Amino acid sequence: MVAYANMGSALLTPDDEGRTAFIDLGFTPPRAISYRSFDALANAYARGLYKRGLRAGDRVAAIAANSYVYLAVVYGALRAGITVVPVNYKLPASIISFILQDSAIRMAFVDGPRRVQVPDTVACIDLDTADASGLIPDFCDAGPFEAVTPGEADASMILYTSGSSGVPKGVVFSHLGHLWGLDRRTSPSGPSSGRTVVAAPLYHQNGLASSQATLGSGGTVILLPGFEVETFARAIADYGVEMITAVPTMIAMMVRKRDFVAGLDLSRVRQVRVSSAPSTPALFSEIKRLFRNATVVNGFGTTEGGPIFFGSHPEGLPQPEMSVGCGHPDVTLRLMVDGREIRNEGVLQIRSRAVMMGYLNKPELTAKVMTEDGFYNTGDIFRRDENGFFFFVRRADDMFVCGGENVFPGDVEGMLLRHPAIAEACVVPVEDEIKGFKPVAFVVAKEGQTLTEDDVKAFALENGPAYQHPRRVFIVSELPLAGTNKIDRHALADRAGAAVAVRNS
């Protein structure tokens, strides 16, 4: 319970409670917040929730840019036993409305730019009214608070992730599993015990888990409201960042700013961890060139599987460059092919205390990914070498990652088919140096209708998150079929890749 009661600050002595927990760069001038102040702030939000009548088991949403106030709300709610629903504010208002309804939230904490995305029927607390200390005068209640002791089935968070079903899925985590994962990711002598920069959104597991690991280890979070490449790079240099955790896209954009980055002092970075999407050897080489004093770590995790999959080799063998490590000693991993466990290559399954409890309101979908013996089926194919190191191979299904965000072709196709002039649509990925992959669409117009590439792109941007919109659209008279009478996605992917290559040459 230490992580909720004291945010890991029990790792500090009483004399160290004045140590800086955050430097929040979203304010002018930036705000430095001590562990003591943040602890009191989290208590004030927990007490404020109680004053409004919320109790353990109730749910609150957070729809806002990154800030220490956002995290104070998260910690306050968790201490009160309340379930937190971080919402991706880049989603269309209709999908945000679905998430709020699906999760049956009692209250939403929202900042000004995001308020228009929230239905008027939802009770909202305006984060922009917080004072210089982070307190919302009409909501917070300063004073001590004893953290709730959660039960086995009590939910800590619901993180929504896109899916092939066409609507977001709520991934439910337990309080006890959440704490179990935090306990194994925190150490007063680990890489998170120094200064960590966080620019990934806090509604994403990458940004949220990185922040929690740093707080639990007694480090300092250099917090950005969002990601902008030059601001991100300058923060690393100006604040002596020692640990970077980011999706590959963020680092790839940084290394391409060669002239700008050349003038920055990045010598204090000791570890760069790239995760949330597959990386490449070329990117690793660029990272090593840029951060000459840093160890580069290839991370892996899934929303459903929690943050703990892999660790170091039990006998201390060095980790090969593109490996994600060996199985963590406190988790069970297996590779499966056609229902059989094998040694070398197969679909990765995981069983641990941190694995989700299931998908909210979707028992049938939960049953498809959770085995009877308690393993979560990741849908990712991995290879394991003779020393026990794991290597990501590919997705077992057609999902691909664009800039750290999961893109399911079926989701994009379903959205495009709502266009009144589109009869058929097929979306395929093409490789991209920055994003990893980008979606490309092939569409067939309805008879008598006229379509242009710009029309389709504009519709996609209006009706879905920006990362899903097709970067190229090909208007075709018909979609090719494979021998099974299904659309030949491989042929379209080859065509799209060739067309993009020609355009970029």
Spell out the domain ranges in the chain: 2-16+32-189, 326-395, 400-504
Query: What is the percent of the chain where pLDDT is above 90?
Result: 67
Give pLDDT, residue 16.
Answer: 59
Query: What pLDDT does residue 421 have?
Result: 92
- Using left for φ > 0, alpha for ψ between -120 and 50, and beta otherwise, residue 189 falls in alpha
Strand-pairing partners, residue 401, are: 406
Evaluate whether 326-395 and 400-504 have a shared fold.
no
- In whole angstroms, what is the distance from residue 225 CA to residue 227 CA? 7
The whole-number pLDDT of residue 166 equals: 58
At residue 10 the predicted structure's pLDDT band, cuts being 50, 70 and 90, is: very low
* Burial of 181 from C-beta contacts in 10 A (0-12 / 13-18 / 19+): buried
pLDDT level of residue 367 (50, 70, 90 thresholds):
very high
CATH superfamily of 400-504: ANL, C-terminal domain (3.30.300.30)
Distance between CA atoms of residues 79 and 75, nearest Å: 6
For 326-395, CATH gives 2.30.38.10
Residue 359: the pLDDT is 97
Q: Is the peptide bond before 92 cis (omega within 30 degrees of 0)?
A: no
Residue 361, token pair as written in the block? 């309101």
- The tens digit of pLDDT for each residue in 400-443 reads 889 888 888 878 988 998 899 998 889 999 998 888 899 999 99
Q: Which helix (H) or strand (E) holds 68?
A: helix 68-79
- Beta-strand runs (E) in 199-288: 220-223, 243-246, 271-274
CB of 331 within 8 A of CB of 351? yes
Tell me: the pLDDT tens digits for 242-283? Answer: 999 888 778 878 887 888 999 999 999 999 998 876 677 777
Between 478 and 142, residue with greater pLDDT: 142
| Superfamily the domain 2-16+32-189 falls into | ANL, N-terminal domain (3.40.50.12780)
Does residue 339 surpass a pLDDT of 50?
yes
Q: What's the chain's average pLDDT?
A: 89
Classify residue 132 by burial, with Cβ atoms within 10 Å: 0-12, 13-18, 19+.
exposed
Helices within 417-469 (DSSP H only): 453-463
Please give the pLDDT value at position 334: 97
Distance CA 171, CA 302 (A): 11
pLDDT digits (tens, 9 = 90+) for 159-190: 998 754 457 899 999 999 999 998 888 888 88
pLDDT above 70 as % of the chain: 93
Give 263-296 as a DSSP string: TS--TT--EEEE-SS---HHHHHHHHHH-TT-EE
- Summarize pLDDT for 431-474 with one digit per residue, the tens: 988 888 999 999 989 878 999 999 999 999 999 999 999 999 99
Element (H, E) at 499: helix 489-504
Using one digit for the tens of pLDDT, what is the confidence trace for 274-302? Answer: 887 667 777 788 889 899 999 999 988 88
pLDDT at 53: 96
Contact between 207 and 199 under an 8 Å Cβ cutoff? The reply is yes
